[in-house]
Structure 1
Amino acid sequence: MKHKQVSALMSINVPGLDDFVVMDSIGKEINAYIESILPEIDIEDLSGWRLTFDINSFCTDLIAIYKKFWWYPSDREYVISIAIPIPDNTQARYGMLSGTNGRVGCFRPVDSNHFYALDPEYDKYFSLEQYILASAIKAIDYGLAKGFTCGAKKVKFQDL
């Protein structure tokens, strides 16, 4: 039953991104990764509620992992929000074309202490798909190592 309790959802917040990558394919790979690490995740505090990693593409400067999760009682679901910055072609050779304002979307800098922030490390990847997949996995791992909270509820990698 644990495998149906944790999953990822891919959201697109950068105009035209779906013309460059197949987000459903990336989402399937991320969900397969989550399935592989499920035994390591302590979700006992969730009392049977689902946990969803909402992985969003954004025009921002850093990978942002929200430290607390949102809850939706009507759906019995907790949601952890992750923002993946999408590079333009000046930041990475595989990046999207810049818009008229020089950005690939409406820029929102990560400057809040409500997030764990990670460097996107654009130069480590060869394609936008590879970058998004690796960044999402890196964000999930980092967030689970640090832990997420919502009131008395906590989700993290189990202490072994």
Structure 2
Amino acid sequence: MNEHDEVTSDNTEFEQAFNDLEALDRLESGIEEPESSGDNESSIDPLTSAALLGAVEMGLNASEGIIAMASGVDFEYKAEQKGKFIDASGPLLQKYGLTWLEWFDKYKEEAMMGFASFGLFASSVATIKRLRLEQAIMLQAATQSKESTEQGGEHGEETQTATTTTA
């Protein structure tokens, strides 16, 4: 899989996650009726809460990929810290639910453009780093080759000079 496929895959995953969260928001706000009857409590049901925590984890996984692509090194959050972050987001999700999606819905195209732009930027940075490294390796190889040629020539000249002086 090349960098373009990874960015496209990440964008598809983001779009699917946002679509899923948007559907949950419509259910919560009463725009759509839930498929099964249940309590109309203000808190989020455990299944929805688990789905939201899964979305948070997916966001963290995506950010790991973005950081790795931008830095050019393998990157992962420490599992313990990642778990703490996900656990800490639970109460906020319970408190605010999906109301933030109303704001996001207004700007989702801009956000997707931002994600795509950052992906392009990160890919460009990674490519530049790779090309600079390749260029440095080629320059070092050329310098070493030139030095070994010059040293070989100097030794040859010294030998000729020593032979001519003795003769």
TM-score, normalized by length of structure 1? 0.24
- Higher relative contact order by CA 8 Å / sep ≥ 6: 1 or 2? 2
**Structure with more helix by fraction:** 2
**Structure with more strand by fraction:** 1
Q: Which has the larger radius of gyration?
A: 2
TM-score, normalized by length of structure 2? 0.23
